[in-house]
Chains A and B, each alone.
Chain A
Amino acid sequence: MKPRVNRTESAVGLLILLSLLGICIWVYERQSRFDPSVLVVTAPQQAVPERPASAPTIESPFQSLISERLSPLGAPEQFGAETLSEKINGKAELYLSSGFVSLQCQRFAKGEGGRAWLEIFVYEMGDSSGAFSVFSSQRRAEGEDVDLTRFAYRTANALFLAHGKDYVEIVGSEEALIEEILAIGKRFVDARPLAGGETGELGVFPPDGLDPASITLLSANVFGYEKLDDTYTAMYTSGKSKLMAFVSRRESSDEAANMAAAYERFLLDNGGSLIESRLNIPGVRVIQLFDMVEIFFNKGERLAGVHEADDRDAAEDLAMNLYGSLP
């Protein structure tokens, strides 16, 4: 009797074990069909295009910048002031307060299925001082100046530049891409020759000793003189002394000359005294004001000079430099 029972038992047991195996196979099969929530979290870009961005039909704004070794890794994106925080959450405030207009960006991959990719960000700021402002406030300490445009530096894997009213970041996923990045930067700058006005006054400050982050636009009542407005100031370091250079662009060269004369009167009225210039600059005024000197001159449409310097020698050097760099 016993063997018969055992045979049934074994058969039943085998059947059960087979069904366990079946469950195993089913579970294994199920795990390869991904849960929608998993897909959403792990692949947000691909799974859910945030805006109708049918990549192939949209002409990339960066097409002319990239070499044929690069191919688009995603559709070009554009953000306005309202939506900027979607792209650069947390940092948007910095841009918005500097007159942000729009951001265009796109990722490109190098080679086929390569893991190396780079992303181009072009921030259009309201004007060149806005572009310069975001450029200077984010400047990386380890950055190394690049001779592309006036304000440009690179790090190991990225290029940052302010050009006209654009602030550009090109960031690569690895250091090997830096040549590609510099080439894009060069094409970007070359494609946009800056008209005189567009340079703003940022370009006129001579670079030696300049603290780029210090350039500031004073829009009214400059240096306590109510008639003087729209003046850029910049801080310079020369040896131990700190100096402030300023440039104010007037309507015409006559206006500039008039302003120079008026500013001279203002300073003399406030206790200054004219002293003799040692500089070879036409129309230069050197005014002693208490224990400081004010040097200024007009050249073309601009009134420029060095403001309230302690060190006359340094101030004169800077004034010469400034004179030389003015167009």
Chain B
Amino acid sequence: MTSSSGEKDFSRREFLVRSAKAGAAVALAGGVSAWLFDPEGPRAPSASESDLVTLPDFSVSGLDRKLSIIQGADRVKSLDVALKALGGIEAFVKRGDRVLVKVNAAFATPAILSATTNPDLLAEVCRRCLKAGAASVVVTDNPINDPESCFSLTGLREAAHSAGARVILPRAGFFRPTTVAGGSLIKDWPLLHTPFQGVTRLISIAPVKDHNRSGASMIMKNWYGLLGGRRNIFHQDIHNTIKELAMMVKPTLVILDGTTTMMTNGPTGGSLSDLKATNTLIVSADQVAADAVGATLLGKTVSDLPFILKAVEAGVGTADVESLRPVRASAV
């Protein structure tokens, strides 16, 4: 008897424990179901607002109307004169700033073809930034050809490394969707974003090139290299796309290299005969004005390049170069 009643007690206790466990499991299942319950189901695919990223304003207040146009065949000398005219790189890059340099590394072609940013110019800019106290300088671009070979064959990787800067090659995970405020084309589109983390200053260095589709590839077109995805669909409306690119990015300083200009067969070129020595370096805080000056090197006017007027209309900058009272000098 005793044993059987003991057994009963045991089994009752055990049953109670089991009931408690089952109850807890029911409560857990119910709780999780209630917590995760989604009567609506998924919505139409579109990035929710919170996923979208935008680039901050990198411009330096008070210095956003600076422009210098320097004549000379030696890029480094021209840069020196140009920066001095604007108050030195120190006016733009302060101690501790983290600088990102956006180059044009679009093609895996040698530097001599001027289809990409000139490596000497890049090295000099990086060196000066670091000298001014920049905590770090990173160089990036999302080129059209394979990034690895683009950065090495153009000499840009070596130039950056020699000056103490770091090159960030784009990877799939570095892109985040962005939407240009006030735009209609660049919507929920992947932007090369990770290299911008912690960055406080943005400098763009681009050569002056003829461009088969847009008429010219200079500073504003250079932002195209920040887009990811199947971006070539933007070529269906290239001028408005360039305008929106310019709206998307507010750089600290832009350096438009017209020392050698690709006059024909752009944007790839491929032959030295496509090039012409135009011996001009444009350093500007106003990207539109820089392109407006660059247009003259290609023998074009502002009205030949609709994207410039569109950018002016969008309030990105001015094409009235003289209104900025540019510093003109010669670096001979």
Contact, chains A and B (beta carbon distance below 8 A): no
